[in-house]
Amino acid sequence: MRNYILLFFSSIVFAGCQQNSNNYFATSCNNGTIPSRHANISFDLKPAYNLPLDDSTVVDPFTPIQYVATSNSLIVLDHVFQRLVFFDLNNQKRYQCINIKDANLKNIKASAFKYNSPDSILLYSRNKQTFYVINHTGKIYIEKNFIKPASHTSYATNPNPFVATFSGMYFNKNEIISTGFTMGENTQVLAGNRLVKISTGLANDESSFAVKYPQIYDAANWGGSYYRVFYTTNYNDTLLISFPAEHRLVMVDKNNNVTYHNGTYPKSFCINSMNIPIDSMYKKGFEDLIDDHYAANFSYRNIIYLPKYKLYVRVLELPLKKSQLHKKLEAEKQPLLLFFDNKFNYLTNYQLPLNCSLNNYFITDKGIYFLNKLNKNENLAQYSLLQITVN
């Protein structure tokens, strides 16, 4: 379980660990009274695709992917040879490669991408903190460095962009929209100082930041890792954010107006922060305290939108059972998919098997395709389809 979060540490901003207050505990409770309505939704999880991989192409839970509906294809970012590999899902074969190296990016390791069209492919290099727009031949149209405002201070923790399948980037007119989070705990950095939405203007020298963590994060000790990573989706220029400790979903329009919406289900439960001072946490063995806290608590993760059905899907992770806590590093929390209509009325839920990756998935009109992360065949990328039927 710990390996999941440590993968991010090398590129994420830390907020430090200075403590100057005793107000370090908070609890986020859902009383079970939420807007809901009856819906007749059925689910069928079944094997779907076995995509053949060559010796250099690796598809694991953290491989960036994107589904393209117009061609019914899946694009995979090959980290080793820095290329975009296209798979035709109709016949489950590879049919095209775009070499990022042709764009003179040999010394830049692309870590994420957004395919808009053959003439508009957005790349992000985490190690260079630079955005690129290239075409299918590798020609660079735009090269934009991510620059923080000159007023940035150690306590105004504006994040670096973090782009993944569960937290994408996109164009909004003349700017690139992405999100990012800061790790660590510091009571001098309240939720209002931790901004998460990043706008990188193509004509500006600096990026701008907006949207703070919800109030439940103010001054509380949330462990600095698992509960600081949030999840997003975007539809029609509207950003929806799922914070792990917040029962509500946070909706952000293109003008950065924020509204809160129901994002939980009709069961009473609480999510508690760590009940220790921050300055007592950052000592030898503090990783075990953070793991214990995460394993024993509820937590929210992915937010997914299904445009065909106009449904939102949010992932709720259930706490480990007491019998599992002694092996918390190997055990995984059970994910529960919560379904909502487009007015955020709760509809139903589905318990997702643990072999389905919540970091590598894509959406079609048929449902959600999840990578089988327990697959032992390195020559195949196996995806299962959670088929959704709304009657």
Instruction: Kindly state the DSSP code that residue 55 receives in the 8-state scheme.
Output: S
HSE-CB for 249 with a 13 A CA cutoff: 34
Reduced DSSP (H G I as helix, E B as strand, rest coil) percent helix, strand, coil of the chain, to 5: 10, 45, 45
Q: Does 16 reside within a domain?
A: yes
Q: Is the predicted pLDDT of residue 65 greater than 70, yes or no?
A: yes
Q: Does 77 reside within a domain?
A: yes
Whole-number pLDDT of residue 18: 39
Q: Does 212 reside within a domain?
A: yes
Q: Does 266 reside within a domain?
A: yes
| Element holding 219 (H helix, E strand) | none
| Element holding 205 (H helix, E strand) | none
184-223: buried (b, 16+ CB within 10 Å) or exposed (e) per residue? bbbbebbbebbbbbbbbeeeeebbbbebbbbebbbbbbbb
Of 51, 94, 62, nearest to 373 (Cα)? 62
Among 11-15, 254-258, 305-309, 376-380, which stretch is predicted with the lowest mean pLDDT? 11-15
> Stretch 295-308: mean pLDDT, rounded?
97
Number of domains into which the chain is organized: 1
Instruction: Kindly state the DSSP code that residue 204 receives in the 8-state scheme.
Output: -
Whole-number pLDDT of residue 20: 37
330: confidence class by pLDDT, cuts 50, 70, 90: low
Identify which has the larger pLDDT, 372 or 150: 372
Q: Does 175 reside within a domain?
A: yes
Q: Does 26 reside within a domain?
A: yes
Which CATH number is 88's domain given? 2.130.10
Of 3, 37, 32, 20, nearest to 343 (Cα)? 37
pLDDT digits (tens, 9 = 90+) for 78-124: 988 889 999 999 999 999 999 887 666 656 678 999 999 999 999 99
Whole-number pLDDT of residue 174: 85
Q: Does 139 reside within a domain?
A: yes
Of 346, 339, 341, 220, nearest to 272 (Cα)? 220
pLDDT digits (tens, 9 = 90+) for 172-227: 778 999 999 988 887 666 667 889 999 999 887 788 999 999 999 987 899 999 99
Q: Does 113 reside within a domain?
A: yes
Spatial neighbors of 70 by CB under 8 A, at least 6 apart, are none
Q: One-letter amino acid identity for 254?
A: K
Q: Is the predicted pLDDT of residue 232 greater than 90, yes or no?
A: yes
| Element holding 320 (H helix, E strand) | none
Q: To which residue do tokens 């107006």 refer?
A: 257
Whole-number pLDDT of residue 103: 60
CB of 40 closer than 8 Å to CB of 391: yes
Taking every pair of Cα atoms in the chain, the longest distance, rounded to a whole number of angstroms, is: 61
Identify which has the larger pLDDT, 287 or 344: 344
CA dist., res. 341 & res. 339, Å (int)? 7
Identify which has the larger pLDDT, 296 or 55: 296
CB of 214 closer than 8 Å to CB of 265: no
DSSP code string of 121-184? EEEEETTTTEEEEE-TT--EEEEEE----TT--TTS-PPPP--BTTB--EEETTEEEEE--EES
210, 242, 304 from 239: Cα distances, Å: 12, 10, 11
HSE-CB for 341 with a 13 A CA cutoff: 11
Domain extent for 169: 2-40+62-298
Among 20-29, 32-41, 285-294, 319-328, which stretch is predicted with the lowest mean pLDDT? 20-29
Q: Is the predicted pLDDT of residue 9 greater than 80, yes or no?
A: no
